[in-house]
Structure 1
Amino acid sequence: MLTRTVYPEVPARVEYELTDLGHSAAAPLKHLRDWVEHNVGTDQ
């Protein structure tokens, strides 16, 4: 879901980037977040 790139620098530098799979998870995770925000604090 992520790619990690380490650069041979001082100080150390590391970058993370979403893969295509990571990007494809964005919409379902947004729906889950919306559901949680709508239902948090309910007594069900």
Structure 2
Amino acid sequence: MDGEVPPNSRFPVDDKMRIKNPDIIIPTRMPKKKELKQVNFMGIPI
């Protein structure tokens, strides 16, 4: 997930959120349709 979105992408990432929850998809990034079926809005598998 870190590799998909570069630090300087147009979707800003909250550094504090990244440090506290490194395995969670940051909600500021628009998830792909495939991801939407697998995770909820916080990026946690359903």
TM-score by length of 2: 0.27
Q: More strand by proportion, 1 or 2?
A: 1
TM-score by length of 1: 0.28
Q: More helix by proportion, 1 or 2?
A: 1
Q: Which has the larger radius of gyration?
A: 1
